[in-house]
Amino acid sequence: MIPLIMAGGSGTRLWPLSRTQYPKQFLPLHSQLSMLQETVSRLDNVENVALICNEEHRFLAAEQMRVINQPCSIFLEPVGRNTAPAIALAALDAVNKGKGSECLLILAADHVIEDEAAFQAAVCQAEPLASQGLLVTFGIVPVHPETGYGYIQAGHAFETSSAFNIKQFVEKPDLDTAKAYLESGDFYWNSGMFMFRADRYLEELGKFCPDILQACEKAMIDTAQDMDFIRVDADSFKQCPDESVDYAVMEKTESAVVIPLDAGWSDVGSWSALWELKEKDAQGNVTEGDVISLDSRDSLIMSKDRLVTTLGVSDLIVIDTPDALLVADKNHIQDMKKIVAQIKGAGRNETFQHREVYRPWGKYDSIDMGDRYQVKRITVKPGAKLSLQKHHHRAEHWIVVEGTASVTKGDETFLVTEDQSTYIPLGEVHCLENPGKVDLELIEIQSGSYLGEDDIVRFEDRYGRA
């Protein structure tokens, strides 16, 4: 079995924690692990994991897999084209490697499953069915009339297994229809999790959506292995139609079956959903970080860096980050996308990335900024190295506060240790490396007429960035 984890998406409904450059699947929302790490961990030591993610998230995904010691292959989508093409890439890769008869277990990277034993039991039930050539989907046993999910109606039981033939897929219902679905007992939430043989998926995809299959086949002709990453031909993949696996295959095939899954599942699609998942205090509050709450109830209050207090409030969502604060009525949180759209429309950066930005060599935090200056706190991991580069519009002053830096400036390379500093003039070719065994921490003071991240001319880069 080959687990394939879909790690794309932006998760705008969990802003301001989830952002374009750091979406919810990479956040530790449910435990100390990120949601992606949780997804991999519940597979119980499966070795041959494959991920599919966006180009801009590749180093995040690779680093999170490194932290939990999980070997994996990471397929990079040049552009988002939904789940049907993404799965086709992995299925074609399996066929090309002579593994077309192996089962793909398709999982989303941003779901919570509280009963891992029930999940693993359902996977074991699905594997022999998928091996026979059936296309298995996992239907979540509904616990309330939900209007935010699509549903799967089960038909008659499939032979002697716990699976059912699928009568129909239905779109997100209104509340009265959702109540009727719940009362009927034969409707399940569409989880977006599947299992099928790689060759069978491609066979059905070619039958119903040959244009998707052809575009993906062309994209896989000329792949490139870049460290842990598998790059497909971008021009060919961009020609691929945008289609979900449900619309492309599952709703059309006669070989689909559904296995009911009752495992404490949630897609954590909103802040109110996270509040429902979390353990609450006697007043019904969920608090994380430095929070003092008095005479407040039924609220979710999270603070990253500073003290947040509430007094005499109820049914609130309060999410505090270093550069953005959300205060919302818990009963109106479904309109979160409208807030995000308004921020984007204003040309602001707060939906794109956090103040703290992760890079393959470490991270930086923009702690202060003015018209002609910017101050960053930079962390470089042991053995990591920034690109050899120069800037046209800014000079930089580096002050080491912890660790040792190996600095290349022009034709010279030298060490800078704690409480020492060095100056990089505008236009000087330079490089920064951490040769030590502990994190390198330094303060960078930039000054100049333009301080954007795109004012970088790279000459060498071990991470393959342009």
pLDDT per residue over 428-460, tens digit each?
A: 999 999 999 999 999 999 999 999 989 999 999
Residue 74 sits in a domain whose CATH number is: 3.90.550.10
**Residue 414 neighbours by CB distance under 10 Å:** 10
Are 134 and 213 contained in the same domain? yes
Give domain status of residue 81, yes or no: yes
Are 295 and 437 contained in the same domain? no
Distance set, CA 311 to CA 292, 293, 296, 314, 457 (Å): 9, 6, 6, 9, 51
- What percent of the chain is predicted at pLDDT more than 90? 86
Number of domains in the chain: 3
Are 170 and 252 contained in the same domain? yes
CA distance 41 to 46: 9
Is residue 198 over pLDDT 90?
yes
Are 448 and 382 contained in the same domain? yes
Residues near 237 by Cβ (< 8 Å), separated by ≥ 6? 77, 78, 79, 81, 85, 215, 216, 219
Domain that holds residue 301: 277-345
Are 255 and 282 contained in the same domain? no
Give domain status of residue 160, yes or no: yes
Are 170 and 42 contained in the same domain? yes
Is residue 45 over pLDDT 80?
no
Q: What angle do CA 260, 265, 270 make, to 5 degrees?
A: 135
Residue in this structure with the two tokens 């930089």, named with its chain if needed: 396
Give domain status of residue 192, yes or no: yes
Question: Within the chain, how many helices (H) and strands (E) appear?
Answer: 11, 30
Give domain status of residue 34, yes or no: yes
Is residue 395 within 8 A of residue 59, CB to CB? The reply is: no
Give domain status of residue 350, yes or no: no
Is residue 62 over pLDDT 80?
yes
Are 178 and 228 contained in the same domain? yes
Give domain status of residue 351, yes or no: no
CA distance 363 to 230: 24
CA distance 194 to 173: 22
Give domain status of residue 465, yes or no: no
Domain end call among 345, 373, 399:
345
Is residue 463 within 8 A of residue 358, CB to CB? The reply is: no
Is residue 226 over pLDDT 80?
no
Helix (H, G, I), strand (E, B) or coil at 275: helix
Residue 424 sits in a domain whose CATH number is: 2.60.120.10
Domain end call among 231, 266, 301:
266
pTM of the model: 0.90
pLDDT classification of 160: cutoffs 50, 70, 90: low
| pLDDT at residue 161, as a whole number | 73
The tokens describing 65, both together, are: 């897999």
Are 91 and 142 contained in the same domain? yes
**Residue 89 neighbours by CB distance under 10 Å:** 25
Is residue 444 within 8 A of residue 378, CB to CB? The reply is: yes
CA distance 233 to 383: 32
Average model confidence (pLDDT) across the chain: 93
The total number of residues written for the chain in this structure: 466
Distance set, CA 190 to CA 146, 180, 290, 351 (Å): 11, 16, 37, 28
Is residue 232 within 8 A of residue 75, CB to CB? The reply is: yes
Domain end call among 345, 367, 401:
345
Are 261 and 362 contained in the same domain? no
Query: pLDDT digits over 323-349, tens only?
Result: 999 999 999 998 999 999 999 999 999
Are 65 and 132 contained in the same domain? yes
Residue in this structure with the two tokens 């709450």, named with its chain if needed: 293
Are 100 and 127 contained in the same domain? yes
pLDDT classification of 158: cutoffs 50, 70, 90: confident
Are 205 and 303 contained in the same domain? no
Is residue 228 over pLDDT 80?
no
| pLDDT at residue 280, as a whole number | 96
| pLDDT at residue 350, as a whole number | 94
Give domain status of residue 287, yes or no: yes
